[in-house]
């Protein structure tokens, strides 16, 4: 009797999948930031923080960074990326380091805030890389499942 086993081939991730994963992650990040704010609210006597409060902005920045970086470094996927079968790697295929995660996070901010031009760049890039991919030495690949048969007694 044979059983099926999943393996994957990879290809550069397309814009739609990347944006879908980004939207999913944005919703999850919003929940994380809500909880992070809830944790520090007693420090302000229960009053709302001013959006321009420098300590609060720095705190939120670090929470957002660690939300993404921990997942990227630990397994190459945020929750949104896992849902859409995307994986983040160094351009040579190695797992991300904290340095790559920091560069990617910092460079993704202007990529997004400049009308998404950094993301749209992948439509004209020969390797389908965004600005933050290029600047951080990373790439996002789509994992395409391939069914293989494993025979009885085979390895």
Per-residue pLDDT, 2 = 47
- Is the distance from CB of 55 to CB of 43 less than 8 angstroms? no
- Is the distance from CB of 104 to CB of 111 less than 8 angstroms? no
pLDDT interval class at 1 (50, 70, 90):
very low
Per-residue pLDDT, 6 = 62
Higher pLDDT, 88 or 6: 88
pLDDT interval class at 148 (50, 70, 90):
low
CA distances (Å), origin 29, targets 16, 38, 134, 155: 20, 14, 24, 42
Closest of 11, 7, 15 to residue 121, by C-alpha:
15
> Which tens digit of pLDDT belongs to each residue from 53-108?
899 999 999 999 999 999 999 999 999 999 999 999 999 999 999 999 999 999 99
> Which tens digit of pLDDT belongs to each residue from 114-127?
999 999 999 999 99
Q: Which residues pair with 143 in a beta bridge?
A: 10
Residue 19 reports pLDDT greater than 50: yes
- Is the distance from CB of 154 to CB of 3 less than 8 angstroms? no
């Amino acid at each position: 009797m044979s059983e099926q086993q999943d393996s994957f081939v990879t290809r550069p991730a397309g814009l739609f999948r990347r944006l879908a994963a980004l939207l999913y992650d944005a919703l999850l990040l919003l929940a994380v930031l809500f909880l992070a704010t809830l944790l520090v609210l007693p420090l302000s006597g229960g009053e709302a923080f001013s959006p321009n409060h420098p300590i609060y902005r720095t705190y939120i920045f670090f929470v957002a960074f660690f939300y993404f970086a921990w997942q990227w470094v630990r397994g190459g996927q945020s929750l949104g990326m896992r849902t859409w079968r995307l994986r983040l790697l160094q351009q040579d295929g190695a797992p991300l380091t904290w340095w790559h995660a920091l560069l990617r996070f910092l460079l993704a901010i202007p990529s997004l805030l400049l009308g998404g031009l950094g993301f749209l760049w992948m439509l004209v890039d020969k390797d389908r890389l965004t600005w933050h991919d290029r600047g951080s030495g990373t790439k996002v690949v789509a994992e395409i499942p391939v069914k293989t048969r494993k025979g009885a007694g085979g390895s």
